Amino acid sequence: MRNWLITTFLCISLFAAGCKAPQVPPEVQEAEVQEHNLWRAGGAEYAPEDYQKYSESYREAKNKLIKERAKFIWFRKYEPVEIAFKNLLDSGEKILEKIQKEKEIKSNRITSQLTGFKSRIDSIKDLCLMVSDGTDARFNLMHAEVLMREVDLLHQKGDLEAAEKKLEEISFSIKDAEDLVLSGLGRYIDRKITGTWKKWVEETLSESRKKGIVVIIVSKFERKLSVYKKGKPLGTYDIGLARNGLADKLHAGDYATPEGKYRIIKKLPSSRYYKALMINYPNREDEKKFNLAKKKGLVPSGVSIGSLIEIHGGGNDSLTDGCISLENDDIDKIFNLVEVGTPVTIVGAIGNLNKISLMIKGL
């Protein structure tokens, strides 16, 4: 009797419900798609706190759905489930917007950094040409450029996290190249050294004015030799230096051109390089510098200070071991203007704001 009543009650209930089970809200399916999209978009990376709260809300909504589904069909009420998933979808949309904004910011940052790196690399490349042996620096720059191409590909694929990690490697490579270059050219932004160069030039021009004599001033960075008489310019000529010409000569075989105040000690009307003017390198200051460097271990064992530094012809193509070379027509003009005893002042650059200084400060 009891079973019959239960069966009758069930039949009546089913009939009252139209024999149809309540439909699961469509928001459930939409939320499943949204949750997957949030995961693929990198919610955990770009909006970690919001994404975590979303995940918790998603689990709670799913649990409500599971509980309703566990009930008899005619007892299921999906209204609370629908509300939970609608709220979830609203919060998910906001998170997706936030992720897109964060990605846009990161993408712009990557583009900006790549542009900045390219500018720095171009500047360092120019400076490398001025260093005697910029091989290591150029290798670091090549490595940085390879990484930049990898970053560009990752950026295009949308893998911004991996792209940013590569940016750190690029920064290290460029910094290593900068350090190598600055170790060879740092003197050109040293106020004490550039101040000394300026002082030498001023003293030489002052001597020219007071004595009414011809003097020669050589600026290694500008690669110019200028002739003055009575303090007024007579002519400026292009010169060539050795492969380490911008460095201050320290010892024989370093392919550097000395810096200091010298004088012509011999005029050679015929030499290996057409004509030549020999200067009094090494002078006392050079010897002091050499002996100090030797004590510090900066000079290889058994190496001498060197000698026979000349201003000579043969072309300004830098094919020298430490001398200053000119075109033959130019050495002819200078040869006839000077005599033994003519002051020759050689500096790295003239003035504090020389081009190397500006290039280095622009890094």
Reduce the DSSP state of residue 222 to 3 states and report it: coil
Q: Residues 241, 324: contact at Cβ < 8 Å? A: yes
Q: Does the pLDDT at position 300 exceed 70?
A: yes
> CATH 2.40.440.10 spans which residues of the chain?
190-354
CB burial of residue 243 (10 Å; 0-12, 13-18, 19+): middle
Of all residues in the chain, what percent carry a pLDDT higher than 70? 88
Residue range 280-301: mean pLDDT, rounded: 90
Please report, as a single letter, which amino acid is at residue 265: I
Q: What is the crossing angle of helices 79-128 and 27-41, to 10°?
A: 20
Which one is predicted more confidently, 176 or 135? 176
Grouping H, G, I as helix, E, B as strand and the rest as coil, residue 224 is strand
**The CATH number of 190-354 is which of 3.40.50.1220, 3.60.15.10, 2.40.440.10, 2.40.50.140?**
2.40.440.10
Q: What is the pLDDT of residue 255?
A: 86
The pLDDT of residue 4: 52
Q: Helical H runs in the chain?
A: 2-16, 27-41, 43-46, 48-69, 79-128, 135-157, 160-185, 191-211, 284-295, 328-337, 355-361
Band the pLDDT of 242: cuts 50, 70, 90: confident
Q: What angle do CA 272, 276, 282 make, to 5 degrees?
A: 105
Is the overall model pTM greater than 0.85, yes or no? no
- For residues 44 and 53, give the distance between their C-alpha atoms in angstroms, rounded to a whole number: 11
Count the Cβ atoms, other than its own, within 10 Å of residue 120.
Answer: 20
b/e burial code for range 52-88 (CB count within 10 A of at least 16 → b): eebeebbeebbebbeebeeeeeeebebeebbebbeeb
pLDDT score of 56 more than 80? yes
Answer for the pair 251, 290: CB distance below 8 angstroms, yes or no.
yes
Say which residues have a Cβ less than 8 Å from residue 12's Cβ, sequence separation at least 6: none
Summarised one tens digit per residue, pLDDT across range 109-167 is: 999 999 999 988 988 887 776 665 566 788 889 999 999 999 999 999 989 989 999 99
Question: What pLDDT, on the 0 to 100 scale, is given for residue 268?
Answer: 94
Residue 1 clears pLDDT 70, i.e. is over it: no
Residues 6+ apart with CB under 8 A from 260: 200, 281, 283, 285, 286, 345, 346
Alpha-carbon radius of gyration of the chain: 39
Taking 50 as the threshold, does the pLDDT of residue 51 lie above it?
A: yes
Average pLDDT, the chain: 87
Residue 7 has pLDDT above 60, yes or no: no
Rounded CA-CA distance 271/310 in Å is 11
Before 48, cis peptide (omega within 30)? Answer: no
